[in-house]
């Protein structure tokens, strides 16, 4: 029979346990005293590294021997790896477990199961106190996320009812990616007023590389959606087709291009530049610095004017191309300021896991880094933004589902039928007919492979085409400033603003001191 211990035996156990805790504490203290003993005031960097490495190793061993529950070595290893990389405060330097490495390989090689959204996540709340929700950097064309109308800048507030503010980037990716054919529900917030739920069915996401077409018989349109090992070849094929068609100008569309491989960006830039610097990478280790230059001969003749389209979804490798062509005076940039990611990462595998770490920063030909700054366009063209009232109306329109219902009921409506439907919508939802017509067109395009471009609604592309056909490109490229000049001007303006603010503060303080005398 099992019996409860007597009061005396229970007291004896209580008296024994603190002794164990004290003994353990003494052992641990001795351990740290022993490890810390070699430290001196002028400790060298290598000595310090050895000391902390030994501490980590001893704590690792101590936890395995003394923690209340048995813990796997792999668990401690992964925790230590994540902790070290998280301590850098760099969202691009992360530990990659087996699933992460698989996802990374799928992305760089061309396919994975997911919804087709490239995302970012702040590491802490914004200055205004808003939660660190996931932000969409760009959707991948012809994927569930893109077909649902999700746009760069949208916030993913919830995934299957769970707030993304509390999730790590790894946790977010694990919830968005998954088996093709399964469903995931996300809550989208756009601006201050617009918020709606979207249900997406995961699919095999084939990472697109290039789309191309002729605009009329004179302009080659080249859209680069990401930079992969196949990008340079695909761009070369597109440029050859333009040459065969007799193109006289070129539009390179880098909007919503999240980046990709450094070598691919260099290879694409090389098509347009004749010798000279494309990009420079600078590391903490001097012998790892590199200067990448174009070949002596260029595939695109110098007399072919080039317009590059950028927006806030243009990041990393796409900014390398845009920055190189801008600084070298080879292209005019049209659109909106780019994302601003000027760091280069390398992936280091460890068996089936690994880690990704920022090893250098890249600099444009005028020797500036655009990290967290972005590249401003030479000609700014923005899509109209909704007012709060219009956002509320659009929110109601989305919630009512009128446009998807129309498209579902009429697979191939005529232009006249679309126009009539837009008139009906305009009467019920007071927002511009142009926006309504574009929403209907977008919904129709989500059921098919979208055309490479749409001059009717794409005002940024239209501005680029008008620049090329209107004979104003040469003047625009002459007036364009290098990124070095722009950053220097911005620094001078910031210093002037700071001086003016300080002068106003002094004046206000003097007024406050003089006020009592004036009142007398």
Lowest mean pLDDT among 38-47, 127-136, 263-272, 332-341: 38-47
| Active-site choice (103, 142, 253, 327) | 327
* Helices 7-36 + 45-66 axis angle, to 10: 160
Known catalytic membership, residue 423: no
Q: Token pair of 171, please?
A: 């946790």
Q: Are the CB atoms for 338 and 374 separated by under 8 Å?
A: yes
**268: nearest Cα among 255, 282, 252, 257:** 252
Q: Are 466 and 381 in contact (CB under 8 A)?
A: no
Residue in 121, 211, 326, 341 annotated catalytic: 341
Instruction: Write down the pLDDT at residue 434.
Output: 86
pLDDT value, residue 513: 65
Q: How far is CA 325 from the centre of its chain?
A: 21
Q: Is the pLDDT of residue 14 over 80?
A: no
In b/e form, how buried is each residue of 102-139, taking b as 16+ CB within 10 angstroms?
ebbebbbebebbbbbbbbebeeeeeeeeeebbbbbbbb
Going from the C-alpha of 141 to that of each of 41, 55, 112, 230, 255, the distances in angstroms are 58, 49, 14, 17, 11
Chain centre distance of CA 409: 37
Q: Which CATH architecture has domain 111-206?
A: Roll (2.30)
Per-residue model confidence (pLDDT) at position 443: 83
Q: Is 246 left (phi over 0), alpha (psi -120 to 50) or beta?
A: left
Residue 290 in this model has a pLDDT that exceeds 70: yes
341 is catalytic: yes
Q: How far apart are CA 458 and CA 438, in angstroms?
A: 10
DSSP string, 450-499: PPS--TTT-HHHHHHHHHHHTT-HHHHHHHPPPHHHHHHHHHHHHHHHHH
**Predicted confidence (pLDDT) at residue 465 exceeds the cutoff of 80:** yes
0.75 surpassed by pTM: no
pLDDT score of 124: 77
Cα–Cα distance, 346 to 349 (Å, whole number):
10
Q: Which of 209, 176, 254, 202 is nearest to 110 (CA)?
A: 209
Q: Does the domain formed by 210-382 have CATH 3.90.226.10?
A: yes
Both tokens of 268, joined, read 């694409």
d(CA 509, CA 500): 14
- To the query of whether residue 327 is one of the catalytic residues in this protein, the response is yes
pLDDT of residue 417: 93
pLDDT band at 512 (very low <50, low <70, confident <90, very high): low
Element (H, E) at 118: strand 117-120
Which member of 314, 316, 318, 360 is catalytic? 316
Pairing mode, strands 117-120 and 134-139: antiparallel
End-to-end Cα, the chain, rounded Å:
96
The larger pLDDT score, comparing residue 152 to residue 392, is at 392
Tell which residue, 352, 345, 346, 357, has the closest CA to residue 78: 352
Domain boundaries, the chain: 44-87, 111-206, 210-382, 388-469
């Amino acid at each position: 029979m099992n019996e409860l211990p007597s009061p005396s035996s229970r007291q004896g156990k209580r008296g024994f346990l603190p002794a164990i805790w004290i003994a353990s504490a003494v052992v641990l203290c001795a351990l740290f005293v022993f490890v810390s003993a070699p430290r001196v005031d002028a400790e060298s960097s290598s000595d310090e590294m050895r000391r902390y490495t030994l501490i980590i190793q001893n704590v690792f061993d101590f936890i395995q021997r003394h923690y209340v529950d048995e813990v796997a070595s792999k668990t401690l290893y992964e925790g230590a790896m994540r902790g070290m990389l998280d301590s850098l405060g760099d969202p691009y330097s992360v530990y990659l477990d087996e699933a992460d490495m698989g996802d990374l390989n799928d992305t760089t090689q061309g396919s994975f199961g997911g919804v087709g959204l490239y995302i970012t996540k702040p590491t802490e709340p914004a200055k205004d106190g808003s939660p660190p929700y996931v932000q969409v950097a760009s959707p991948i064309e012809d994927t569930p996320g893109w077909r649902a109308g999700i746009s760069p800048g949208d916030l993913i507030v919830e995934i299957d009812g769970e707030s993304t503010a509390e999730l790590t980037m790894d946790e977010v990716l694990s919830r968005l990616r998954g088996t093709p054919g399964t469903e995931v529900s996300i809550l989208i917030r756009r601006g201050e007023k617009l918020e709606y739920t979207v249900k997406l069915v995961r699919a095999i996401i084939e990472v697109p590389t290039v789309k191309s077409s002729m605009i009329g018989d004179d302009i080659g349109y080249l859209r680069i959606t990401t930079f992969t090992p196949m990008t340079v070849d695909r761009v070369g094929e597109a440029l050859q087709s333009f040459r065969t068609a007799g193109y006289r100008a070129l539009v390179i569309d880098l909007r919503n291009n999240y980046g990709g491989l450094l070598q691919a960006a260099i290879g694409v830039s090389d098509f347009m530049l004749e010798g000279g610097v494309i990009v420079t990478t600078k590391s903490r280790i001097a012998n790892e610095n590199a200067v990448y230059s174009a070949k002596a001969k260029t595939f695109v003749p110098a007399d072919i004017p080039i317009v590059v389209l950028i927006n806030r979804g243009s990041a990393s490798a796409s900014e390398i191309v845009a920055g190189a062509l801008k600084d070298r005076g080879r292209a005019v940039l049209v659109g909106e300021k780019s994302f601003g990611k000027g760091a280069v990462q390398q992936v280091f595998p460890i068996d089936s896991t690994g880690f990704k770490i920022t090893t250098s920063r890249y600099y444009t030909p005028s020797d500036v880094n655009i990290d967290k700054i972005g590249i401003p366009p030479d000609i700014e063209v923005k899509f109209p933004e909704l007012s709060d009232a219009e956002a509320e109306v659009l929110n109601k329109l989305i919630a009512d589902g009128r446009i998807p219902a129309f498209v579902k009921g009429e697979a191939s409506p005529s232009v006249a039928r679309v126009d009539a439907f837009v008139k009906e919508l305009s009467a019920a939802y007071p927002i511009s007919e142009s926006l309504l017509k574009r929403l209907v067109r977008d919904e129709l395009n989500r059921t098919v492979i979208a055309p490479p471009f749409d001059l009717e609604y794409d005002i940024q592309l239209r501005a680029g085409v008008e620049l090329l056909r209107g004979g104003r490109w040469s003047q625009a490229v002459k007036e364009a400033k290098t990124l070095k000049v722009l950053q220097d001007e911005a620094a001078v303006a910031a210093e002037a603003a700071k001086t003016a603010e300080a002068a106003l503060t002094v004046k206000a303080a003097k007024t406050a001191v003089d006020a009592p005398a004036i009142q007398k």
